[in-house]
Structures are given as structure tokens and as C-alpha cells.
Chain A
Amino acid sequence: MADFLGVLRLALWNAAYVRLVRSSFATVPFYREHWALRGRTDPILVSGKVGVNGGAVPAEMLAGRLGDLVPLKGGPNTVEPLRDNGPDVLTDELLGVLARRRDCGHWHVDWTTVYVRSTSAGLAFSLLRQRSPRFVDVLPAGGLPGQVGWCRGPVLLT
């Protein structure tokens, strides 16, 4: 039963990410341009174009361009200041809370709100619920090398 729930959770997590990528490509100026002209992977959106680092973008590159991350429908172009902090919380100034350390010792990603994938430039994070400004495949400031593992949910192996 636990295995079944794990598989279901992983499938839902991946599906939410693919929906986010497709919606961002269709409606958000920055991703439209970045992935159309350079490309991306997992999923590939324009055949033959695979981009750099799988299409992930360093947070530093986005900091001055939050207006480009607002979907055509409109929305906020500011980031709320980070309130949650502490030794067992992994945060990024732009993205907010990325993961929390649990009793098992792993850095757990909240799978309902954050997606993480491994790229050649390190771990890239996406905010699944935030409509605007949209953050998809963002490499946190300074970079975060590692892999994605699983411990009843996604965890960071850094």
C-alpha cells in the first residue's frame, strides 16, 4: 500500500511539473522566449532544441526580470520577503523555502508545492503553485549541486 501511494505521489508530482512547464511556455514571456530560442529537456518543447543545463536558469539572471515572469493574464511581479528561516530549513531569497530537514536526516521537499530536478548545473527548483511571478527550473543563488532521492517523498541528496 505504501509503495502504491509512493508511486502515485511520484506520478502526480511529475504530472504537475509537466503541466507547469507547458503552461509557462504558453503564457509566460520569459520561458516562452528562453525555451523557444534555446530549448530545454524533460520535456523537450521545440524539437531539436535542448538548451543549456536542460533549460534551467540561474536565480541571479531572473532577479532583475520579474516582470517577464508574469503570465499574460497578469499577476504580481514581486516576491514576498522570506519569513521562514532556521538551521533545518533550506531557503533561497527568490524561491523561498526549498526543503526542510526531517527526523530521518534527509532534506525533504514539499512535493505539493515544490518540484526539483537534477541538471548539469545542479538542482533546479520549480514552484508548482505560484502562478506569478512564475519560477520554473530555477538554479538557486550560488548553485546547489546534488541529486534527487526518495524517502516517502522527494529528498535532496546534496
Chain B
Amino acid sequence: MSVEVLDPRRDPEPAYWGALRRRAGLRADWAWPVLAAQAWGTRGRLLVSVLHGSGGPVGVVAATWAGLPARRHSFAGVRGGPWVGGLHVRSPGNQSHPGWWCAEGLGLRELVAEYATGMRRELGRRCVGMLLRQVGDADLAELGRPRVARPTEPVWVLDTAGWRDREDWFRALRRSRRSNLRAVLRLADADVRTWVGGGPDPARVAELLRHNDGKYGGRWVPPAPQLTGYVGALIGQPDVATTTYTDRRSGQLLGVGIILDHPEWPVGRTWAGVPGARYLYFHNYISMVDYAVAGRKPGLVLGKGKAEVKSTLGARPVTQLAVALPSW
């Protein structure tokens, strides 16, 4: 097996990429133009590694190569990398999914071993290990119960199989939540113009997303802003649905929700709204459920955080772990 390490900043889209993305069910955050735009806007280098077997690609891993000296206030250098660091393996553009895929017949343990060998060859001894995010219980067992595994925030999912419309969802909710959602619908009908589809101005969307990221920013290393070109590339993908909320009177963009489509489990990647329009946050859940039900999806991934709200919306938590695998 061989490992091909790609830097989306420089490397053109491989000929097999579209077919690999479809086969692996990788969402729009893995589309090459999206990766190419994103890779310039990260503090660590975004590296995409493809594992090739005798018959073609059998695995793929996306990771950020970051370490010391830390970059608090600058993007990754054009060349080189940290003196010493590790690989942060995670899905490039959403926090609900892992940063790897392996074909049937290739176990996660084997994938990780081959990947580690390939990356050691590429990065040398500077790379002291890797951190895998969004590891599920089954993955953990497959990895052979690694020593350093810590639970992180669960991902919330909503089972929508069998629902004909949003009323089926409403019926499953507590009465207070149900009446709250109906009130949200009435308010939104009066105040905002809701539009599902591509087309909003990426600069305005990026502005809203940054405002939102700022609220949840890390204390020591604030999140790198989502660049306008990245947002434009992402919402321009055919398998992305964007819900935009604009004020009926002023035309101001009040909120935006981004759904990354998937044949079975679309994911609500982002919600961002202006302060004072909290009811739109709930309206976005209604839009997402409408989307999933219309597409006859078995479920919808609502992402991390806001556990209390999501449980009242009928979602269930799925355990997630972070696993550190040192090189030695």
C-alpha cells in the first residue's frame, strides 16, 4: 500500500477525487475547490493523504499539521511546517464527522498504521503523533483500546426515517416545544424572507459566520476566520443547501444555515445569526427537518453543543472520543 500526501494549496485535484468522494460519501467540505480555498486559511497546514491499494484508492485521511512554534496570529507558512508537532485528524469543514474514510476490507487499525508510516516518511521525526477526533465506540474497539482516549462533546442526531412532513416531527415533541416551534413559524412568516438554495453573497455570509465563531472562540487560540472565498466555494457546491433569512423591510441578512447533503445523513454544518433574532435559530431546525423529510433521509446530524435544546427537539446523543496515538 502507498500513501500519497497532497497539499490542496498546491496540488491540483486528482483525477480520481470526484469518484472517491462519491464512493466514500464524503460531504461537500471535501470537494477539492473547497479544500483548496480552505487550506490557505488555516493556521496549520491542511494535508490530505490518500492510501492506494493495488486497485486504486482504499482510504483517505485529512489532518492539520500543527505544532511549535504556535501560530496565534498568522496563517500557516507557504513552505515548511512546525519544528515539532502532530497531526490533528478531523473532517476538514465540519465538526460532526471524522477525518478519515476506509474502504471495506481495510480496518481502521490498518488504515491508521499505514497512514502513520506514510506521514513519518513525509514529515520525519518532527511529527510526534496524531490526534483522532470524532472516534465512535466501534472505532475505539477497532483501534484496540488505545491508552489515551477521552470523551468529547457528543454529536446529536435526529432520526427522521418514516416522517412524511414536519407534523410527524412535531407530534413526537413535548407540548411546550411544539407550541414554541409553531410560534417561531408565525414570527418568521411575518418578519423574514426565507430562502433555501444557493446564491447568498459569500462576503455577507462569511461576516455572519465570523461573528458566530467569535462567540465560541477558544480562549488561547481564537478560531481562524472563515475566508470569504472558502465560504463561496462551499455554498457553491451542488450538494450544499443554504437557508438564508433576510429582513423583509431592510433586506439585511439576519441568519444563515448551511446543510451539507449526504445520501443518508445530511449534516447541519453551521448556523449563524445576528443578535436579537434567536427565534430564527429554531426556524433553522425546522428548515433542516423539512429538507431531510423532503429528501426521504433516514436522519439528520445536528452537530455538537446545545445539548438541552437538541434533546427537546427529539435528537439523541452519539458518543464521541478523541484518541491520541503517539509515534513511539
Whether B9 lies near A36 (C-beta < 8 A) is yes
Told that A29-B227, A68-B203 touch, could you supply 13 new A-B pairs with CB distance under 8 A? A26-B77, A33-B40, A33-B41, A33-B227, A33-B230, A36-B9, A46-B78, A65-B203, A65-B228, A67-B210, A71-B73, A72-B75, A72-B225
A-B contacts at CB below 8 angstroms, number: 49
- Residues of chain B within 8 A (CB-CB) of A36 are 9, 40
Question: Is A37 on the interface with B (CB-CB < 8 A)?
Answer: yes
Question: In the complex, which of the residues B37, B78, B228 contacts A68, with contact meaning CB atoms closer than 8 Å?
Answer: B228
Q: How far is the CA of A72 from the CA of B230 in the complex (A)?
A: 17
Question: Is A64 on the interface with B (CB-CB < 8 A)?
Answer: yes
Whether A73 lies near B40 (C-beta < 8 A) is no
- Residues of chain A within 8 A (CB-CB) of B206 are 68
- Residues of chain B within 8 A (CB-CB) of A52 are none
Q: How far is the CA of A32 from the CA of B74 in the complex (A)?
A: 10
Secondary structure at the A interface, as helix, strand, loop or mixed, is: helix
Residue with the highest number of chain B CB atoms closer than 10 Å, among A45, A46, A72? A72
Question: In the complex, which of the residues A32, A64, A65, A73 contacts B41, with contact meaning CB atoms closer than 8 Å?
Answer: A32
Question: Is B207 on the interface with A (CB-CB < 8 A)?
Answer: yes
Q: How far is the CA of A65 from the CA of B210 in the complex (A)?
A: 13
Whether B203 lies near A32 (C-beta < 8 A) is no
- Residues of chain A within 8 A (CB-CB) of B222 are 72
| Binary contact readout B221-248 vs A (1 if CB under 8 angstroms, 0 otherwise) | 0101101111000000000000000000
Residue total for B at the interface (Cβ-Cβ under 8 A): 22
Residue total for A at the interface (Cβ-Cβ under 8 A): 17
10 nearest CB pairs, A to B: A36-B40, A73-B73, A26-B74, A33-B229, A72-B73, A33-B227, A27-B74, A29-B225, A29-B227, A32-B75
- Residues of chain A within 8 A (CB-CB) of B225 are 29, 72
Q: How far is the CA of A102 from the CA of B55 in the complex (A)?
A: 74
29 A-B pairs whose Cβ atoms sit less than 8 Å apart in the complex: A26-B74, A27-B73, A27-B75, A29-B225, A29-B228, A30-B228, A32-B40, A32-B41, A32-B75, A32-B227, A33-B40, A33-B41, A33-B227, A33-B230, A37-B40, A65-B228, A67-B207, A67-B210, A68-B203, A68-B206, A68-B228, A71-B73, A72-B72, A72-B73, A72-B74, A72-B222, A72-B224, A72-B225, A73-B73
- Residues of chain B within 8 A (CB-CB) of A72 are 72-75, 222, 224-225
- Residues of chain A within 8 A (CB-CB) of B36 are 37
- Residues of chain B within 8 A (CB-CB) of A30 are 228
B225 closest partner in A (C-beta): A29
Whether B203 lies near A26 (C-beta < 8 A) is no
Residue with the highest number of chain A CB atoms closer than 10 Å, among B77, B78, B224? B78
B36 closest partner in A (C-beta): A37
A residues in contact (CB < 8 Å) with B: 26-27, 29-30, 32-33, 36-37, 45-46, 64-65, 67-68, 71-73
Q: How far is the CA of A97 from the CA of B136 in the complex (A)?
A: 59
Residues 30-45 (chain B) with a chain A CB within 8 angstroms: 36-37, 40-41
- Residues of chain A within 8 A (CB-CB) of B37 are 33, 37
- Residues of chain B within 8 A (CB-CB) of A33 are 37, 40-41, 227-230
Residues 177-233 (chain B) with a chain A CB within 8 angstroms: 203, 206-207, 210, 222, 224-225, 227-230
Question: In the complex, which of the residues A26, A65, A67 contacts B75, with contact meaning CB atoms closer than 8 Å?
Answer: A26
Cβ of B219 to closest chain A Cβ, rounded Å: 14
- Residues of chain A within 8 A (CB-CB) of B41 are 29, 32-33
